Every structure is written in C-alpha cells, then in structure tokens.
Structure 1
Amino acid sequence: MWAFLHRLASPRHFYHLTGRWIPWLGGATLLCMAAGLYLGLWVAPPDYQQGDSFRIMYVHVPAAWLSLFVYVFMAVAGGIGLIWNMKMADVMAACSAPVGASFTFLALATGSIWGKPMWGTWWVWDARLTSELILLFLYLGYIALQNAIEDPRTAARAGAILAIVGSVNIPIIHYSVEWWNTLHQGPTVTRFDKPAIHPSMLWPLLLMAVAFQLYFFTVLLLRARSEILWRERRSRWVRELLTDERIEPASDSEEIAS
C-alpha cells in the first residue's frame, strides 16, 4: 500500500496511472448521473408541499455537499504539500480549487432559484447562504493568490495557509442551521434515526451525490495531468512523451505518391 502511494506521488507514475482511470471514472459518472436524473425527475413523486419545484434539490444538494468536500480536500492536500513538500499534493490542491468554486457557485445559484418560490425572494442574508457565499470568496481568493505568485512552490505554500485557515468556515456552514434560527431547512439526509425524506426521493439524491463525486475526481485528474505536463515540461520523461505522441506532417513527395 505504501509503495503504491509512494509511486502515486511521482508525477510520472501519476500521469500514466491516472490515464487508465479517467475513462472508467467518466463512464461511471455518466451512468450514475443518468440514473439519478431519471429517478429524480420522472420516478420520484412530487413533494406534498413544494410540488415539482423540489426536484432542483437533485442538483443543489449534491453541489452544496461537494462545495464543502472539495474545500476540505484542497486544505488537506495543501497541508500535506506544506508539511511533506510533495509536488503532487500541491498540484491536486491547485487543480481542485476551480472545480470547488464551480460547485459553490452552482449551489448558490440553484439555491436562489429554489428560494424564490419557497421564500418569495431570490436572496436573504441567511446564516447558511452567507457562509456559503464566504466559501465562494475563499475559493476565488485561493485562485487569485495562486495566479499572483509566479513561483509554484511559493504559491502552493501561500495557498495552503489560506485554505487551512479558511477551513474554519466549513463547520460553520454545516452547523449553521442548528446554531442559528435560519430560513434554510435543517438536515434531512443525515437524520438516520428519523428519516425526513422518503426513500423514493432519497435514492436519486444519493445517486446524484455519487455522480457529482465521480465527476469531481474525473475533472480533477484531467486538470492534474495537464498541470503535471506544464510543471514538468523540462523533464526528460515529458519530452519523451511528447516526442512519442507527436504526429509528423507528411512530406511533399509522400503526398504526391498518395
């Protein structure tokens, strides 16, 4: 196990190994998302209070979950790179930030769309919404900090510190509906003792959560592979890789002969 993780920390082995994972992750993402959308949009019954408008939760809730998960992932990867000086940890942290920011924006946008018919307004300075908006600013600040510093290692250290400090916002987002009196509904899926959502609605939601999770890892690996090629562009293995994959144009004599 440790030997495998040690090899995975090598940019060269990471690039070649993840190239075999991506097609499987992408296929699993499509299957889970297709099944989740079908069950959520066509099979699940309308909510007794919200009608069909509740179906936006099959995008909103997984996006909100992933916005928290990706930030924790980014902070942990940044901490590993900060402590053990691992290149791949820095790459994973940097590549996950734009994806996490996209999930956070999607959660805020769909939450506003859902809130309009439920609350009568697009936005309120609710504790959950406000802390989620702060999370988006943390993502954007991390991305801006990474782009503002030219040296990758210095940028990784600065970003790791920001991510670790900003992670204090994660439990605030999660427990905001319990700590303060807010318009946002309380936890439903995590109440295993007294389920607050019918299984016909719960299973599509869990499928969509898995689909979003697989999508994150698929896009993360694609971004990480591109980032590795850029950072390691002067190394021998990248030059050999590009030489093997380069397609040489045909000469004029070959074109005439054909």
Structure 2
Amino acid sequence: MNIFMKWFHRLGSPPWFYNISGKLIPWFAVTTILTLVVGMYGGLILAPADYQQGDSFRIIYVHVPAAWMSLFIYIVMAVAGAISLVWRMKMADVMLISSASVGASFTFIALVTGSLWGKPMWGTYWTWDARLTSELLLLFLYFGIIALYNAVEDRQTASRAVAVLTLVGVVNIPIIHYSVEWWNTLHQGTTVARMDGPAMDSSMLWPLLTMAVCFKLYYIWVLLVKARAELLSREINNGWVRELVGGKANG
C-alpha cells in the first residue's frame, strides 16, 4: 500500500511525470507500430473471409477497437475527473483534457467505419439505432468537454468545470454498452466478451485483439505527448520549466 501511495504521489509531480514520460514515449511508439503491422496483416491477409459478409467484415479490425477505445478513454477521463475534484491533483486535470481529443477521434472513427459497414449490412449508412445514437452522443460529449475547457480562461476553473461535465456524462457509457440488450436494435450483440466464449474463429479473433492492444498503445503514446505539451503550457512560469528550457538552451 505504501508503494502504491508513493507511486501515486510521484505521478502527481509534474517534473517527475515530464521526465519519465519522455523516456516512455519511444517505447510506446515502437510497440504501437509493431502491433499495427501484425494486427493489420493478420486481419487483412491471414484471416479468412466471413461466410456471410465476405471481405467487407474486415472493417471490424478498425471499427471495433475504435469503439472500445471511445468508451475506455471516457472512463479514464471520468476517473481523472474524480481524482481532480477530490484530491486537486494537477496531473489528473492534464490527463483528462489531454485525453479528450484522442477519445473524440476514436469515437469519430467508430461512427464513420460503422456507417461504412452498415451500408452493405443494413442498406443504409445511418439509422437512429440505440447503439449508434448513444455513440453519437458520446462524440458530442467529447466535443463539449473540449469546447468548455477552451471557453474558460482560468485553467483551474476550466479543469473543475470539465471534470464535473465528464462525471455527469459517464452515465452514457453503460447505455452504449448495454443498448443492444436493453432495446431491439439493428446492431449485433457482443461477439468477444461472452460468458460462453467468443463467437469468432480464433483466426479472426487474434488480429482483432492485437489491433485492440495497438489502439491502446497508440492512445498512451499520444496521451503522453499531449500531456507533456499541456503541462509545459501550464507550468511555463515555474522553476523546473525554466531550468528545463535553460538547460536545453545551454546544451
């Protein structure tokens, strides 16, 4: 427990985070590229065509991981928002706002690829299906968080406002997840996380899981980059940033 608390407090230190994140970024960049190559090769080349959908099903290797990430990132933001409101941790604010644009991007990709997949399956690019509508609402929540943060000049006030908005919007996450069970929708049900096992052949499943790992690694990679930039903009007048800039200038 003491080790966890020590790590927790270290993570809340802007200089420590900036230093350690700079060392981690190259590793996440390399592993993202490697898993992308493996996942796409497995999904586009090795996986057999679906017996009903043919090759059109291969969009699943982008659509499903993107949809998973749209929910995962929002949950991360909600946790960061709660930490920010309870413990007033500056790094939690940074993580929340730095995640928002990445989450919005994944949500947009999920909606676009879902529409492209829906055309051959449903005969239309869009329908006001419960899953699609709640996912679209999630995109608007991401946009609202970004807009609210940029609309308030004082960073501390802006951080509190977006933390509250994020926590209010988290109610949409279970709605998205369980929408296919609660309502009669066109969207297919869960095929991977099932009590009786995945409803996919292993030759199709492993590339999907590899792409899911790839998208998570990409999120961490981009998050660290964006968080470092956000941190510098917030801490520009603090001594450790002046020392950092001064050291680079002398070097």
What letter is aligned with 1:107? A
Cα deviation, 1:222-242, whole Å, max 9, x if unaligned, reads 000011111000011111111
Instruction: Give the alignment's TM-score, normalised by structure 1.
Output: 0.94
Alignment of 1:107-256 (within 5 A): 107-246=110-249
Q: May I ask how many residue pairs the two structures share in their alignment? A: 248
- State percent identity of aligned pairs: 65
- Secondary structure at the residue paired with 1:191? coil
TM-score under structure 2 length normalisation = 0.97
Alpha-carbon distance, 1:246 to partner: 2.4
In the alignment, residue 119 of structure 1 is paired with which amino acid? W
CA–CA distance in structure 1, aligned partners of residues 124 and 249 of structure 2: 55
Partner residue of 1:3? 6
Provide the C-alpha distance between the structure 1 equivalents of 2:163 and 2:238, rounded to a whole number of angstroms: 26
The answer on 1:40 being equivalent to 2:43 is yes
Question: Where do 5+ consecutive residues of structure 1 fail to align?
Answer: 249-258
Structure 1 distance, partners of 2:211, 2:131, is: 22
Question: In the aligned structure 1, how far is the partner of 2:40 from the partner of 2:69?
Answer: 17
Answering whether residue 78 of structure 2 is matched by residue 70 of structure 1, we say no
- Work out whether 1:56 is the aligned partner of 2:72: no
In structure 2, C-alpha distance between the alignment counterparts of 1:28 and 1:133, rounded to whole Å: 30
Alignment of 1:18-29 (within 5 A): 18-29=21-32
Distance 2:7 2:19 in 1: 13
- Counterpart CA distance in 1 for 2:16 and 2:197 is 47
Residue 82 of structure 1 corresponds to: 85
1: CA distance, partners of 2:163 / 2:197:
39
In 1, the alpha carbon distance for the partners of 2:163 and 2:148 equals 10
Distance 2:126 2:218 in 1: 28
SS in 1 for 2:6: helix
Unaligned runs of 5+ in 2: none
4+ residue runs of structure 1 moved beyond 3 angstroms? none
- Matching residue within 109, 124, 130 for 1:106: 109
Larger Rg: 1
Structure 1 residues 89-142: Cα deviation after superposition (integer angstroms, max 9, x where no partner): 000001000000000000000000010111110000000000000000000001
CA RMSD, 1 decimal: 1.0
